[in-house]
Structure 1
C-alpha cells in the first residue's frame, strides 16, 4: 500500500518531492523544461502532482496510511501566520500561589479539578498548553495545530496524564466519559515520537558526516540516504483499542495534530495488514486480536515500541483479550517502553491485573471512581413488560425527543428488529451491530455524525469510547447488564462539557439490578426514589433474567404475532403454546380462566356445610 506524504524520496526513487526541495529560482525553473526537460519527465511530474492531490482528497476512513503533510491551503495559512505565537491562543485560568512553591501550586490545581494522584513523585499538572513550548518534541507547528483544532485549554485528565507520560511514568488513568482522554495520551505520544525521530536523524547525520568527510560529491547522496533511513525507521508507538471503530476515531483525532509534522500513522485492518510495511509507520492504531496474531507471526516488529497505550483497558480484559494483550506487551520488549492504561471505569480485578504488568505506575483519577458524568440528566422509566418498551419509545419520539438519539439494545437481532419497527414509523433511523460489514458500520457512524440519521440503534459495540459530540439523548432500550455498561452507554452524551439526557427503560424483571444503577445516578447528582436505593442487592451467584430474544420487539399481542403460539413456547403444541404437545391446561387456556374472587381481610372462607345451611 502506498504511503502518500510530502517527505523526501527514498533511495533510488524518482519522486517529484525530491525535486521540489532543490527547486531553482523562478527564472531557472521557467527555462528548465526548454533546456533539459523531456516528455517523460513532464509526464512523471504530472503523475506526481495528481498523486499528491489524491492524497489530500483521501477519505478519512482510517484504512489507508496517512501522514502529517499539510494541504496547500493549510501550508499557505501557516506561512501567513508564521510570525504569530500559537501559545498566545491558549488560556491559563489557574490560580497562582503567593509562596511560589511548585508543589503547593500543583496541589492547588489538582484540588480545583478533582484530580487524585497516587504513586511516587508525581509530576505537576499542566497549567496551560503553552507550557509545552520548548519541550523536546514540541514545536510551534504542533501548538498551532492544537489551537486550530479548538483545543485551547487542557481538561483535568489532560493536565496530569500529559506530564506523567512525558516524564516516562507508567500510568493508570481513570476519568469520566467525554473528558478528553484521547487527546490526553495522543499529545504526549506525538511529542515522544517526534523527539525520537529527531534523535535518530541527528545520530544518522553525525554518522554520515563521520563516514563521508573525504568524498567531494557525496554530500547530496548522504543526505538522501539519511532521509531514506529516517523514513524507514521502526514503529515507535502503538494504541490498542477494543474495536475498529474506536481505532478509527482515535486516528481521526490524531490527524488533527499531524499537518506539517512528517509523522506517519496507520490503522491496522485487513486491508493495511496485507500490503503495508509497518517499519515505515511511526504510530499504529490496532485491535488486540489482529495485532497479537501478526506479532506472533513476525509480520509486525514491536521490539522498538517506546509507548504502548491500552485504551478502554477494562473492556480489553473483559472481552477475553488477556492472552493477546500479554502477547503484545511481551513483544514490546524495549527497555524504555512505557505502558499506560486509560478508561472511564476500572474495576479492582482489572486494576490488580494491570498493576502486575506495570512498573511503579501512577494512578490518576478524575472525580469519583466509576461514576457517570454530572452533565447528563438521567432518569428511569418503568415500562411494565417487554411490549411496553416500543410503546414508550414511540411516545418519547412523538413528544419531541431531541435528536440525534442513540438507542442501546442487548443483541444484534434486537437491533435489526427495532431498526425495522422505527423505519416503518417514518423515522430517519439506522443501526450498527456486529453482523454488518466494516463498510456498513462505518457508513452508519458517518451518517449519524453528519446528521442524515436521527436515531441510531446500536449494541454495546459502540458503547465504549465512541465520541459523538452532538448526541443529545441516549435511550437504554434494554437494561444494561452492569453498572459499568451503564456508565459507558450514558457517556455517549454530555461530552466535552455539553449537556445531555439519558433515559433507561426498566421492567419488573430488572428489579434485581436496579439498585446499582440508582446508586450511580445518585452519585452523579440525579434525583432517585428512596425505595430504589433500599432494594436488596442482587447476589452474584443468582442467575440473572435472560436477555430478550429475537421476535420480542413489537406491540402486537403474542397470540396474533406468532399465529396462536405464545412467544417462547415449543413448536408443534396446541395454540395454547407453552406446554408439551397435546397436553391441555397450559398456555392460553390458563390465561382464559376467570380470576378467583379475593378473600376479604379478616374473614375466613365459608365451608360447604355453612353454604348448605345458608
Structure 2
C-alpha cells in the first residue's frame, strides 16, 4: 500500500508544471512549441511581403489594361477612381466636387499614373497624345499641394510672403496658356487662389518702358529680337552663343 501511494505521488509530481514548463518533458517534446513561436515572429514580415508582391502584380495588370508604360523604382500605384484622391492622398472635398461638376467621371490613363507620382513628391516626365488629359494630370496635384501649403503656413508667414508666386506653368503657345488658366480656375473654384495669365501686354509694357528710358537693363530671349530695334543701346551681353548667324545679327 505504501509503495503504490509513493508511485502515485511521483506521477502527480511529474505532471506538474513550474513557471510554464513541464518538469519532466524532453527537449523533443518542447521543440514544436518553439517552432510555432518562430513561425509567429516570421509571419508578420512574410505576410507584408506577399501582400506587396500581390499589389505589384495587380498594378502591372491594371497598367497593361490601360496601356500605361512606366520606368523607375517604386512607382506609386495608379489611380482606380478619383475617389482615391481623398482616401490615399487626403484630397479635400472642393476638388472632388469641382471634378464632378465639370464632367470628370473617371481618370484617363495619363491621369491615373501621373497624379499619384506627383503627389508622392517624385519627378515625373509624362508623354501622352493630344486630348488625353495631361492638363488635369498636373493641375490636380498642384492645387492639392498649394492647399496643403496654405493650411500649414502660419499667419505671420502668410503676411511675409503675401506677394510671392507659389507655382508657375509654362506653355508653348498663347492659346494653350489661356486654356490652362481657364481649366485651373474651374478646378480651384471655392478657394482664394490668385490665378493670373501673363499676357502679351506685359511684354509690350516692358518694351515701352525700355524705349522710354524707364528701364535701364532689359533681360530677354531671342523673341525680343524679332523686328525690334532700340536706339541708344550701348551694350548687348550674349549669355550663350546664338544658334545661327541670323540670330546673332538680330541680337546686335
Same fold (TM over 0.5): yes
Q: Is the 8 A contact 1:142 1:261 kept in 2?
A: no
Partner of 2:180: 250
Q: 2-side partners of 1:243 and 1:149: how far apart?
A: 24
Superposed CA deviations along residues 84-141 of structure 1, whole A, max 9, x for unmatched, are xxxxxxxxxxxxxxx7832122112101101010112211110111011156672111
Change (3 A) 1:230 1:134: farther
Check whether the contact 1:157–1:179 (CA below 8 A) recurs between aligned residues. yes
- Please say if residues 89 and 119 of structure 2, whose CA atoms lie closer than 8 Å, have aligned partners that are also in contact: no
Indicate the residue corresponding to 1:155 in structure 2.
Answer: 108
Larger strand share, 1 or 2: 1
2:221 corresponds to 1:268: no
Look up the SS of the partner of 2:172 in the other structure.
coil
**Cα displacement (A) at 1:258:** 1.4
Q: Output one character per residue of 1:182-213: Cα deviation in whole Å (capped at 9) or x when no partner.
A: 1111111111111122222xx33xxx6xxxxx
Q: Using the alignment, how far apart are the partners of 2:118 and 2:204 within structure 1?
A: 32
Q: Equivalent of 2:135, from 167, 170, 182?
A: 182
Asked if 1:126 corresponds to 2:79, the answer is yes
**1:132–1:138 Cα contact (<8 Å) kept:** yes
Structure 1's 183 and 106: CA in aligned 2 closer, same or farther, altered over 3 A? same
Residue 168 of structure 1 corresponds to 121
- Alpha carbons of structure 1 residues 273 and 132: separation in structure 2 relative to 1, 3 Å: farther
User: Which residue is 1:241 aligned to?
Assistant: 171
Unaligned 5+ segments in structure 1 are: 1-98, 209-225, 276-295, 299-320, 325-614
User: Would you say the 8 A contact 1:136–1:195 is kept in 2?
Assistant: no
The residue correspondences of 1:410-425 to structure 2 (distance < 5 A) are: none
Give secondary structure in 2 for the equivalent of 1:159: helix
* Alignment match of 1:232 (pick from 162, 165, 180): 162
Q: Distance in 2 between matches of 1:127 and 1:133?
A: 12
Question: Whose Rg is larger?
Answer: 2
Matched length? 160
Name the structure 1 match of 2:70.
Answer: 117
Matches within 5 A, 1:200-599: 200=153, 203-204=154-155, 229=159, 232-272=162-202
- SS of 2:165 mapped into structure 1: coil
**Matched position secondary structure for 2:106:** coil
Residues 79 and 112 of structure 2 are in contact (CA less than 8 Å); yes or no, is this contact kept in structure 1?
yes
- Cα deviation code 1:215-256 (max 9, x no counterpart): xxxxxxxxxxx7x61771521221111111110011111121
- Any conservation in 1 of the 2:79–2:113 contact (CA below 8 Å)? yes
Alpha-carbon RMSD across the aligned residues, in angstroms, is 2.9
User: Are the aligned partners of 2:76 and 2:120 in contact in 1 as well (CA < 8 Å)?
Assistant: yes
Matching residue of 1:139: 92
Cα offset, 1:273, TM superposition: 6.1
Give the distance between the partners of 2:90 and 2:150, measured in 1 at CA. Answer: 9
Aligned CA distance change for structure 1 residues 195 and 135 (closer, same or farther; 3 Å): farther
Are residues 1:194 and 2:121 paired? no
Distance in structure 1 (CA, Å) of the matches to 2:190 and 2:202? 23
What is the distance in 1 between the residues matched to 2:163 and 2:86? 26
Cα distance in 1 for residues equivalent to 2:138 and 2:116: 10
- Counterpart of 1:173 in 2: which secondary structure? coil
* Cα distance in structure 2, aligned partners of 1:130 and 1:248: 28
Q: Which has the higher helix share?
A: 2
Given the two structures, how large is their TM-score scaled by the length of structure 1? 0.24
Once the 2 structures are TM-superposed, how far is the Cα of residue 270 of structure 1 from its aligned partner?
Answer: 3.1
Separation of aligned partners in 2, 1:136 and 1:195: 11
- Report SS of the residue matched to 1:263: coil
